[in-house]
Structure 1
Amino acid sequence: MSEQEKKKDRRIARSTQALKKALLDLMAKKSFKTISITEIVELADYNRGTFYTHYESKEALLDDIISELIQDLLRSFRAPYEKIDVFRVHELPANSVMIFDHVYQHALVYKIILKSDVLSNVREKMFIALKDISMHDLEYPDHDINQELLATYSIHALLGLVFYWIESDFHHSPLYMQEQLMKIVKWRPTTATTVKK
């Protein structure tokens, strides 16, 4: 790559990052549907021409933000098993679970999304992406549980835990959440005591 191409790439990266930051800053203050492209470019200190060079709409800009977030989420989900052939869930050390580290590193973005009018859309995209790689990457031999139902149950449970943690304003540390998740995964109750009122 020539020096001129490198400079162009850096310019593109700078402008797209500025536009993403501007959109997120605006979403922290108002609903996505009320945000205009003019507001985004003014806050980013660029013009509409620059915006339309990279994106056809504010929805495309948001999709770019969410796609980056989900790609990093998927990397963190795969981290415990990507370099091994047999993934022994019950032998997994808590600190190998990277999903809570990912969420904590992107805490500001997740908190903005949680309070926004695009939450249901983002959560659905996260669910579909995680379910797809879960079904594609992992096989559970020798049992008669429907694989799609298992993936659906597991990913909804995981996302429920993640979003509860975000809603609590990260009341617990990522390590605590990792440890609790592994305890939950390994816990197999056979009885429960009913609480008398």
Structure 2
Amino acid sequence: MAEPGKKTDRRIVRSKSALRQALLELMGRKSFTSISITEIVELANYNRGTFYTHYETKEALLDEILSDLIGDLLRSFRAPYEKTEVFRIDELHARSVMLFDHIYRHASLYKMLFESDVLPSVREKMFVALKKISMDEFEYQDNGIDRELQSAYSINALLGLVFHWIESGFKHSPAYMQEQLVKLVNWRPTTIKTVKKQP
């Protein structure tokens, strides 16, 4: 026979999961701002009391979904360097880059978020979380470049690539994106030929 605590825990997990799925399903149909808590609980087949047991607002429910998603994003970002003291960027292997695997694994969720009215918040949360890791976990040799500007530049470049991939409808495979990222990171041109257009 299961312990009472474990039974309750399973109930909590089940109700929270149903509420999350209901919110995401509704967000696939309409804007987040127009969704009511009543709609969420009716679709999840629970009552408002159950909702307020777990969340104060629908924003708190969305925040929990995004926190879990971004937590997994950060784990994938750390994958190439988490077991080493010195991260050799010039020896980075495409297969060790897990970021695109994470995005692709949650492709339907990212696609829905990118088509929703919460997109600015999602972008900001992703940027802030990755920039914090970059600032906290990387130590560069002094190169005269402002540390925060360097972090902002590199994270914006990475997310620009990720966002373009999502917005393209995942035109390329995760493996292709991993290979391209490694090439971009190690690309150090000293000259670029300009193309002159004929008048």
TM-score w.r.t. length of structure 1: 0.97
Alignment correspondent of 2:61: 61
Residue by residue, what CA displacement relative to the aligned partner does 1:31-71 show, whole Å, maximum 9, x if unpaired?
A: 00000001101111111111000000000000000000111
Alignment correspondent of 1:118: 118
1:121-160 equivalences in 2 (<5 Å): 121-160=121-160
Alignment correspondent of 1:180: 180
1:32-43 equivalences in 2 (<5 Å): 32-43=32-43
Aligned residue for 2:152, secondary structure, equals helix
In structure 2, the gaps of 5 or more residues are none
Aligned residue for 1:104, secondary structure, equals helix
Q: Which runs of structure 1 show a deviation greater than 6 angstroms over 4 or more consecutive aligned residues? A: none
TM-superposed deviation, 1:88: 0.4
Alignment correspondent of 1:6: 6
Whole-angstrom distance in 2 between the partners of 1:103 and 1:148? 26
Whole-angstrom distance in 1 between the partners of 2:47 and 2:63? 20
Whole-angstrom distance in 2 between the partners of 1:193 and 1:44? 58
Alignment correspondent of 2:20: 20
Whole-angstrom distance in 1 between the partners of 2:118 and 2:46? 25
1:164 corresponds to which letter in structure 2?
Answer: H
1:58 corresponds to which letter in structure 2?
Answer: K
Whole-angstrom distance in 2 between the partners of 1:90 and 1:16? 44
Backbone CA RMSD of aligned residues:
0.9
1:107 corresponds to which letter in structure 2?
Answer: A
Whole-angstrom distance in 2 between the partners of 1:153 and 1:18? 39
2:164 corresponds to which letter in structure 1?
Answer: Y
Alignment correspondent of 2:162: 162
Point out the more displaced range, 137-146 or 73-82.
137-146
2:14 corresponds to which letter in structure 1?
Answer: R
Whole-angstrom distance in 2 between the partners of 1:13 and 1:92? 39
Number of corresponding residues: 196
TM-score w.r.t. length of structure 2: 0.96
